[in-house]
Amino acid sequence: MVHSPDVTAVFELPDEAATQQMGEKLAPLLQPGLVVYLEGDLGAGKTTLSRALIRALGHTGPVKSPTYSLVEVYVISSLYLYHFDFYRFESPEEFLDAGFDEYFNDASVCLVEWPERAEGCVPPADLRLRLYHAGVGRVLEALADSPKGQACLNALIPAMGADSSSAMPAPR
């Protein structure tokens, strides 16, 4: 059965600062156990969003892209946050071979770039954030795929100062 998202919203992010603000607003809404897919073309802003989110949670050290390491681990207060990038995967089984399934648990938040490269192996998303190029800015389409994702998105819409004109149903 294909689950259609319970909540969808579209946010216009006119510049990099707006993408960073989205990460800052999203950070305090993340709850342990949440799986967030970050989808979009190369250069769409997935790592920029992640970096702002991780810094907003209180991480003071460098925030590196996991493109080459595949995962970057952050322990912030009592929260374990894992930032994955599966772009270099040649097959979904690489996810299991690397033992990444152990990172997905009720005590951690997992941000996953290029989840389609591990399709069928990576756990399903609670929240999917799709970034699209829009001139010099970006458009972020947010889709909640679970009650946890729905609660997060329901809190994000007012946190971004969005009303019905800027957070609108996404096309299905």
Integer Rg of the chain from CA: 15
Does residue 68 form part of some domain?
Answer: yes
Does residue 151 form part of some domain?
Answer: yes
Please, are residues 142 and 156 in contact by the beta-carbon 8 Å criterion?
yes
Domain that holds residue 34: 7-159
Does residue 45 form part of some domain?
Answer: yes
Does residue 26 form part of some domain?
Answer: yes
pLDDT in the model for residue 5 = 55
Does residue 93 form part of some domain?
Answer: yes
The CATH number that applies at residue 16 is: 3.40.50.300
What's the domain count of the chain? 1
Tell me the mean pLDDT per 10 residues along the chain, length 172.
60 92 94 94 86 92 77 88 86 82 93 90 94 89 94 91 49 40
Does residue 79 form part of some domain?
Answer: yes
Does residue 120 form part of some domain?
Answer: yes
User: What is the residue-wise DSSP string for 130-156?
Assistant: EEEEETTEEEEEEEE-SHHHHHHHHHH
Q: Which residue has the tokens 């970057």?
A: 72
pLDDT in the model for residue 7 = 59
Burial per residue of 134-151, b for 16 or more beta-carbon CB atoms within 10 angstroms, e otherwise: eeebbbbbbbbbbebbbb
Does residue 170 form part of some domain?
Answer: no
